[in-house]
């Protein structure tokens, strides 16, 4: 598993930001398609042709999301929140493994959390503590 320093994570951020933006947009589209399918399937006389088309569109959107997530994985970044654009960069602090945490809309990687803490455990980074 690749580990990032704060500087490395921030240097990777322009590319990560573009990919994560694509994930968030495609995920929102996927959610809309699923809701449309649910509504259509629950109607008194569902249209089989529209249902089939929606199912294909849902699968296509999911494949797109999977492709974007693979791009992030290839960079060493972990996608954590499809709806809000949350990613973790594996890192170290004081010699122990942590995640450097970034969310779409933030200007830089400025938070971290323990590997088992998740988003709720986010804390501001103190660069001098990173190794």
Q: What is the pLDDT of residues 36-95, one digit of tens each?
A: 999 998 988 888 999 999 999 999 999 999 999 999 999 999 999 999 999 999 999 888
Q: What's the total number of domains in the chain?
A: 1
Distance between CA atoms of residues 94 and 79, nearest Å = 24
Domain boundaries, position 78: 1-131
Q: Is the pTM of this model over 0.85?
A: yes
């Amino acid at each position: 598993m690749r580990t990032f320093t704060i500087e490395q994570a921030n240097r990777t951020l322009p590319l990560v930001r573009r990919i994560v933006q694509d994930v968030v947009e495609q995920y929102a589209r996927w959610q809309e398609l699923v809701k449309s399918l649910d509504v259509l399937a629950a109607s008194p006389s569902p249209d089989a042709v529209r249902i089939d088309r929606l199912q294909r569109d849902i699968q296509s959107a999911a494949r797109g999301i999977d492709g974007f997530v693979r791009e992030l994985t290839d960079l060493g970044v972990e996608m954590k929140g499809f709806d809000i654009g949350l990613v973790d960069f594996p890192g170290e602090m004081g010699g122990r493994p942590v995640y450097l945490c970034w969310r779409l809309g933030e200007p830089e990687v400025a938070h971290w959390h323990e590997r088992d803490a998740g988003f709720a455990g986010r804390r501001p980074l103190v660069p001098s503590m990173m190794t």
